[in-house]
Structure 1
Amino acid sequence: MRLRELIDRTGVAERQIRYLISEGFIPGPSGGRAKADYGEEHVGGIRRYMRLRELGFPPAAIKLLLDAREGTPFPIVPGITLLVSPDMVASGAPVEPLIREIETLLTRILKEADHDHDRATDD
């Protein structure tokens, strides 16, 4: 898609798109300057950046979140930190299925820990 289409799809001004490219928040277009072509990775990158800005993250923090190769740690409670892939941060992915999976996993982990603790106190 051309720059005008990207602007129409995202609602972001050309100047802001050029800023996002120059700062590395989204990749440059393919096809060179004269035939610049943008794709879904640009749309997704712009939407992710704008969502993080809406959540109050400054550009420097967004850069850190998106550059984290192994994921971004979010402390949940003492002893539990959620590690989120940069591709998932502000991606718009449905949350409910993830919550169910996390709940199932935590229940299993904590029950196993309780079981091990009970065996240790019986000895």
Structure 2
Amino acid sequence: MRIGELARRSGVSERALRYYEEQGLLSPNRTPSGYRDFEESHVDTVRRIRSLLAAGLSTAIIAELLPCMVDTGEGLAPGCPELLPHLERERDRITASIDELTTARTLLTKVITTTPPVGAC
């Protein structure tokens, strides 16, 4: 199928699909005239990519993990136990970011609540 069809079926823009290809996440065949020729399996691959992106993973990490990820019917899971440290490291990174944002929100709330009433300046 051509890129437009994959975009329609996966709900992802053609631009994003080209980016996924540049990042090594998709590998379509090429027709003699140079058009991308995607397989049916690429629809599921794009859905897996989107799921992993939504989980906060970068495309570089996804490129490493994607070949070993399996769909359990309830979501994606690592098909190889050696992927767990990668996933745990990413979860820890996200947790640290959440903690930093929570601290920033708390400080901003303090600034807002200690601001003098309008007209006091």
TM-score bracket relative to the smaller structure: 0.5 to 0.7
Q: Aligned residue for 2:60?
A: 60
Mapped to 1, the partners of 2:66 and 2:32 lie a distance apart of: 25
Q: Aligned residue for 1:20?
A: 20
Q: Aligned residue for 1:43?
A: 43
Structure 1: where are the runs of 5+ without partners?
A: 68-85, 96-123
Mapped to 1, the partners of 2:11 and 2:22 lie a distance apart of: 19
Mapped to 1, the partners of 2:73 and 2:20 lie a distance apart of: 26
Q: Aligned residue for 1:94?
A: 73
Q: Aligned residue for 2:9?
A: 9
Paired residue type of 1:2: R
Per-residue deviation at 1:3? 1.6
Structure 2: where are the runs of 5+ without partners?
A: 75-121
Per-residue deviation at 1:12? 0.7
Per-residue deviation at 1:6? 0.7
Mapped to 1, the partners of 2:28 and 2:16 lie a distance apart of: 13
Paired residue type of 1:38: F
Secondary structure in structure 1 of the residue aligned to 2:29? coil
Mapped to 2, the partners of 1:21 and 1:33 lie a distance apart of: 18
Mapped to 1, the partners of 2:66 and 2:44 lie a distance apart of: 13
* Number of equivalenced pairs: 75
Per-residue deviation at 1:64? 2.0
Per-residue deviation at 1:87? 4.2
Q: Percent identity?
A: 32
Instruction: Indicate how the Cα distance of structure 1 residues 19 and 94 shifts in structure 2: closer, same or farther if over 3 A, else same.
Output: same
> Which is helix-richer, 1 or 2?
2
What TM-score do the two structures reach when normalised by structure 2? 0.52
Instruction: Indicate how the Cα distance of structure 1 residues 32 and 17 shifts in structure 2: closer, same or farther if over 3 A, else same.
Output: farther
Mapped to 1, the partners of 2:63 and 2:35 lie a distance apart of: 28
What TM-score do the two structures reach when normalised by structure 1? 0.52
1:73-118 deviation per Cα after TM superposition (whole angstroms, max 9, x unaligned): xxxxxxxxxxxxx141xx3x324xxxxxxxxxxxxxxxxxxxxxxx
Mapped to 2, the partners of 1:56 and 1:32 lie a distance apart of: 37
